[in-house]
Amino acid sequence: MQSYHSSVMATSGTAEYDLMYYLKGAAAGGICCSITHGALTPVDVVKTRVQLDPVKYNSGLVGGFRQIIAEEGAMALTTGLGATAAGYFVQGWFKFGGVEYFKIQAVEKMGEEAAWNNKTAIYLGAAAGAETIADIFLCPLEAVRIRSVSDPEFCDGLADGAVKMFKTEGIGGFYAGLVPILGKQVPYTMAKFAVQGKAADAIYGSMGKTPAELSSGTNICVSLASGVVAGVASAIISHPADTLLSKVNKKGAGGEGSMMTRLMRIAGETGFVNLCTVGLLPRCIMIGTLTAGQFGIFDTVMGALGASKFHFHNPNSDK
């Protein structure tokens, strides 16, 4: 049986996939998610406001920017920046690091040829497992972020918001949005990695080259282009759950009852079409840009850390 070392070595020559590789992948994931989500905080503020109050914020993305600046000042667009940067560093650490770990473990267990033939399924499974773990850590920080965006008077920062939420709602307040965040993030991440992998393969195939045969700059360009495609696809798939997540973290949303009761009530009040479409354009812009940036930054940071990103390898191409 083919050994783990030989099977994964073939994907990138001299790279060794040990604990240090996974730590570098996790660090690169944390950095890329923190930077991209933090940079797009203003877009996310507008998107969240549109989802929470579409009657008031009904003039589109640009109009939403103008309205918020006119009513609250430009700094309102940075609301939740601290929670966003911290939360998505943690999420990116487990998400990207976890996907790398689960992909390589799949190659070890299945062998190169079987892994190559089933790489989409591996992407989907690795992404689902990694994202579920990541969301357990992200959920409390995301709850504070959404509360601060929906109610700018709620807190003066991440620490202040966390203390206030704990005092008023207990630990349950931090995980009120766990079901919708899993419903949003798991399909989003599955689509993100699977579509990006497919799109990247198509680009490399059209060039008649493998990643190992191209420069790091060209590989980053492929990651950026495939990331845009993956971002738009995953934004559309996960948008209804994103809308529910924004609404359920608003104080008093959904009334009394269990989490599922509140979610069902919010979904019924909002309507299926609105769940799927309200705020979708700014989210596609945001997630398309964000996803492309994440894959580009991830590859760049991995290179800076002296690591070569794992790629599936077709053993038949060596024959």
Contacts of 86 (CB under 8 A, 6+ apart): 34, 141, 158
Give pLDDT, residue 253: 66
Rg of the chain on CA atoms, in Å: 20
Amino acid in the structure at residue 180: P
Give pLDDT, residue 122: 96
Averaged confidence pLDDT in the chain: 85
In this predicted model, what pLDDT tens digit does every residue of 202-239 receive, in sequence order?
999 899 888 888 888 899 999 999 999 999 999 898 88
SS3 content of the chain, % helix, strand, coil (to 5): 80, 0, 20
**pLDDT higher at 56 or 7:** 56
Give pLDDT, residue 8: 45
Tokens 């959920």 label which residue?
A: 139
- Token pair of 307 as six digits: 């690591």
Q: How many CB atoms lie within 10 A of CB 212?
A: 13
Give pLDDT, residue 69: 94
Buried b (16+ CB within 10 A) or exposed e, 158-173: beebbebbeeeeeeeb
Alpha carbon distance 81, 42 (integer Å): 9
Query: Is the pTM for the entire model greater than 0.85?
Result: no
Contacts of 130 (CB under 8 A, 6+ apart): 94, 95, 96, 97, 98, 99, 101, 102, 189
Backbone dihedral region for residue 250 (phi beyond 0: left; psi -120 to 50: alpha; all else: beta): beta
Give pLDDT, residue 14: 37
Give pLDDT, residue 7: 40
Give pLDDT, residue 220: 92
Cα–Cα distance list, 286 to 66, 123, 125, 132, 255 (Å): 17, 23, 25, 22, 30
What mean pLDDT do residues 125-152 have? 87
Are 50 and 69 spatial neighbours (Cβ–Cβ below 8 Å)? no
Of the candidates 133, 134, 243, the residue with the CA atom closest to the CA atom of residue 184: 243
Q: What angle do CA 93, 241, 70 make, to 5 degrees?
A: 90
What mean pLDDT do residues 287-307 have? 92
* Residue 205, burial from CB neighbour count under 10 angstroms (0-12, 13-18, 19+): exposed
Judged by average pLDDT, the poorest of 6-20, 95-109, 257-271 is: 6-20
